[in-house]
Amino acid sequence: MKTINLKAEISGERLDAFIASNSDISRSHAEKLIAEGQVTVNGSPREKKYKVKAGDDISVVIPPEKMPDMTPVEMNLKVVYECEHYAVIDKPAGVTVHPAHGTGADTIVNGLLHQFDIKDDNDVRPGIVHRLDKDTSGLLLVAKNREAREKLSRMFADRTVDKKYLAVCAGVPKKMNFIAEFPIGRSRKDRKKMAVEDGGKYAKSEITVLKLLKGAFLAEVKIYTGRTHQIRVHMSHLGYPLAGDSVYGNRISTAMPINRQALHSWHLSFIDPFDNTQKSFLSHIPEDMAALITILER
């Protein structure tokens, strides 16, 4: 059982909206907690339409989440490389990496449990070393056992993994190569989003323009850190949002003909912690991004 205590500084915001904008709780989850009587204002329960007043003390009780569904599911994951310790898979867009609140048994983890003999005592994210957003495609490194997960996770923490992405971005770049070095944290305006924020965590991306398109460009983005939504936030902040990004995009980028953010993890390179050899993997650009580039070339 977890309790979050909040204090309203200004008046007028609906209770459910106030909770969502001042915590990591989504508005729909806040509505559910209010309906279940898990939210009190100055010690008394209120309905979601209640308008908070300056000085209100809001208490939110979050019951323990149910264990996620870890049922093995046949997904025929595309394996780029496999050894006894780990595998590299080519993740399709539209698939969540691991189970969480509100997800079903259709995540990469469920597929891993069916396709590989995973010996990992992590109850929620067995085999998961790093993540890709649901609608981001491409290379994903997964561990087959606890020892591998710990060693591979350490490589990511130590920033010794070379990670490069392909992205189609809206706008006309001023340079063919540039650095985005801005701190990223939870957005102060919308707690469900990340943003470039003073006081956020250090984040660095290097952008190399590969091809100029009509009102857009194809870029290779090398990330030196692994912040949540890093590339999407950095490119949006620079004025070059990713095509199809419904969260961080603008009117022009979201009108581009692709049904997800045009982001693909295409290059992964590291020193194997088990045999000390260099490993490098590539993934071809997916069909939907290739089709978008063809359209924007015309």
Catalytic amino acids? Answer: 133
> 54 exposed, middle or buried (CB, 10 Å; 0-12, 13-18, 19+)?
exposed
> What's the DSSP call for residue 253?
H
Dist CA 141 CA 102 (whole Å): 24
Terminal Cα-to-Cα distance of the chain (whole angstroms): 56
Question: Whose CA is closest to 184, among 237, 220, 131, 132?
Answer: 237
Q: Which of 265, 236, 240, 259 is nearest to 248 (CA)?
A: 236
- Token digits of residue 192: 């469900």
Q: Which residues of 123-150 are buried (b: 16+ CB within 10 A; e: fewer)?
A: eebbbbbbbbbbbbbbbbbbbbbeebbe
Dist CA 266 CA 289 (whole Å): 12
- How far is residue 35's CA from residue 21's CA, in Å, rounded to a whole number? 18
